[in-house]
Structure 1
């Protein structure tokens, strides 16, 4: 078990519902994987966040709680900074505070050698078909729909890390940027501050989160101090995760369950929730 590094990522989505993915250079972490722009939080992110804290809070208040406000603010700054560094798209911090929205927060499982606590954000951005990406970090880039990237992954044309796969699947089901914003702004206003714990289960399936995990055992085993404090304070909220997906390791078919919890805006996922939350998603239907 290792301690988490705090990181942030920005999902850029165009009006045609194509998202930007970067292929990581093989010389750096997650080399060869397709990822959203993002990276580790730096000291300068906290400094800018502190200087702009009042303005950020005015525009992002509903999305964080006092427990992790400094981390959330710095994550927002890091997502913008990393996107600018990796894509050369010039983004102005103050102009974006009211436009960027939090999408998901994902914490790497405790058994993994490298762990990250990553806040993902979304932002609607057009007019950037051609990019001059930072070749030191990414070898190429691509705009495609969530369905397109999922299909390429299943056909072994690209490689995706499990958290990226999960978010593409959710984006695919939400179908439009307006639906994404409606989802984010509905239901529990603090849901985006809770870690979405995911674990490896038997038979090579991934669970988001594992339905059988023991919260107390998770709390006792956590070595990252701030996560331990957060789990303890938010202990009674942990079971309210919006999503649980289980899918076969070869990804030729996807099977799973979506829980309907209090204040969860899952009604947006029309056509996918059947048989009391169970669904089967075959390759042909992607």
Structure 2
């Protein structure tokens, strides 16, 4: 008998970013190898607790137009618990909602926020329990380290880093946020000489059919043996193939 799929677990992630002479840097944390997503480099975040919803917040509208509560509170709490950062007075900008495909018993419905690192931020204080390492790094450097197998990241982290690397500073990235973007994922496994997976997202011509060769708009992430890459265009002026990282 197949295992029943549970409802997704609500979670929040916060990308803490700062401006430097090298461009934007983001705070990344390495999870303990003995826990879920063990060894992965992630942004601060975690599940939404019942008390987060009781406290409430100013309200979040997700990419499906639903009003949510508790996610911003959870993001602030997790930043404090995992990295010792106080974001209680900061503006958190809601920019994405990630939902994995319903193919595993445990999955997370995660809302992503971007925040400018507070002025005068001191040393990062990790708990050395769930989190074992931390570093400030540019998105381009993080992507390069992933391609060289120096760090492991999950798809939402990859796509977020790929998005952030095109901006000169944090304010520019914040200004580009118009509304939260849906990343409700459909997956196609790839075999042959370059095996891996392709993740399709709403707006891709093949979101429902999983036909990777269909002509039309594309919004997808390739996670292949040869490398990872993001591809997004309207299908009219496709341009060159996406660069692998």
Q: Do the structures match in fold with TM over 0.5?
A: yes
2:185 and 2:94 mapped to 1: Cα distance? 19
User: Normalized against structure 1, the TM-score is what?
Assistant: 0.70
User: Is the CA contact 2:162–2:230 (under 8 Å) kept in the aligned structure 1?
Assistant: no
Identify the residue that residue 212 of structure 2 maps to in structure 1: none
Gaps of 5+ in 1: 186-190, 216-241, 261-274
Identify the residue that residue 68 of structure 1 maps to in structure 2: 66
Give the Å deviation of 1:35.
Answer: 0.4
Gaps of 5+ in 2: 191-195, 210-216
**How big is each residue's C-alpha offset from its partner over 1:111-143, in whole Å with a ceiling of 9 and x where there is no partner?**
133211100000001544631211111010010
How many pairs are equivalent?
Answer: 223
User: Is the CA contact 1:257–1:278 (under 8 Å) kept in the aligned structure 2?
Assistant: no
2:177 and 2:139 mapped to 1: Cα distance? 18
Give the Å deviation of 1:46.
Answer: 0.7
User: Is the CA contact 2:187–2:200 (under 8 Å) kept in the aligned structure 1?
Assistant: no
1:66 and 1:156 mapped to 2: Cα distance? 35
Q: 2:133 aligns with which of 121, 129, 140?
A: 140
Identify the residue that residue 231 of structure 2 maps to in structure 1: 256
Give the Å deviation of 1:81.
Answer: 0.6
Give the Å deviation of 1:84.
Answer: 0.5
Runs (4+) of structure 1 exceeding 6 A deviation are: none
Identify the residue that residue 79 of structure 1 maps to in structure 2: 75
Q: Compared with structure 1, are the counterparts of its residues 135 and 43 closer, same or farther at alpha carbon in structure 2 (3 Å cutoff)? A: same
2:9 and 2:143 mapped to 1: Cα distance? 27
Give the Å deviation of 1:248.
Answer: 4.3
Residues 1-286 of structure 1: matches in 2 within 5 Å?
Answer: 1-16=5-20, 17-49=24-56, 53=57, 56-57=58-59, 63=61, 68-69=66-67, 71=68, 73-92=69-88, 95-96=89-90, 99-125=91-117, 126-128=119-121, 130-185=123-178, 191-192=179-180, 195-203=182-190, 204-209=196-201, 211-214=205-208, 244-252=219-227, 254=229, 256-259=231-234, 276-283=237-244
Q: Compared with structure 1, are the counterparts of its residues 158 and 84 closer, same or farther at alpha carbon in structure 2 (3 Å cutoff)? A: same
In terms of mean alpha carbon deviation, does 79-88 or 205-214 score higher?
205-214
Identify the residue that residue 232 of structure 1 maps to in structure 2: none
Give the Å deviation of 1:213.
Answer: 3.3
CA RMSD of aligned residues (A): 2.7
User: Is the CA contact 1:255–1:279 (under 8 Å) kept in the aligned structure 2?
Assistant: no
Name the SS for the 2:110 alignment partner: strand
